[in-house]
Every structure is written in structure tokens, then in C-alpha cells.
Amino acid sequence: FSMSVAVARAQVQQEASLETTEGNGINITCSHPKIQTSDWIQWYRQLPGQAPELLALTMKESKELPAIAGGLWVSSERRSSALWLGRPRRGDAAVYYCALG
């Protein structure tokens, strides 16, 4: 999985890094202004030493994500999205990717 390739193809933009303390919710945002009608919005998490895992997949619907005690928000025009981690723990420290496809 190459982040540089994914970003170049999908033209998404994310924060370079974010920090929070254990138990304090955090919002990870993604901008995708050139999203196409047929594109699915995807969010992945890659824990240290592991392969990326799919956390959320949607066309346009915001949704709750009980597995991470959070949710996915999608703007009305689909040009941005955000992953919310409601009660992050140390084990949630990872690289979070958004992608289109």
C-alpha cells in the first residue's frame, strides 16, 4: 500500500499528523474536492507492523462506527469527510488513510 500513489490518484488531502490524549475524542479530516460521482469514500487504519484494515466505506452517508467508538461524517457535496474516534486508546495509534475509488 503506497500512500503517495493513493494520494496522487485520488487527490485527497489529510493532516500530516494529529495528537490526542487517551479518552479524548479526535476528528481526522480528509478533503477530496475532485471526487467523481462513482467514487466510494474509504477510510483505512494501519497499525504498526500490520496491513491496512478497512474501517469505513460509503458513497455519501454518514454513519456510526461502533468498532472504533466513533463515526464517519461526509459533507453534503461529498467534497470532504471526517473520521471521529470517540474514545481513543493507546492501541488506536496508527496511520489513518482516506481514499477514493
Q: Please give the CATH topology (third level) of the domain spanning 13-100.
A: Immunoglobulin-like (2.60.40)
pLDDT tens digit string along 72-86?
A: 999 999 999 999 999
Note the pTM of the prediction, 2 decimals: 0.84
pLDDT tens digit string along 41-57?
A: 999 999 899 999 999 99
Residue 59 CA to residue 44 CA, distance in Å, equals: 15
Angstrom CA distances, 63 to 17, 45, 81, stand at 24, 17, 11
Spell out the domain ranges in the chain: 13-100
Query: For residues 14 and 29, is the Cβ–Cβ distance under 8 A?
Result: yes
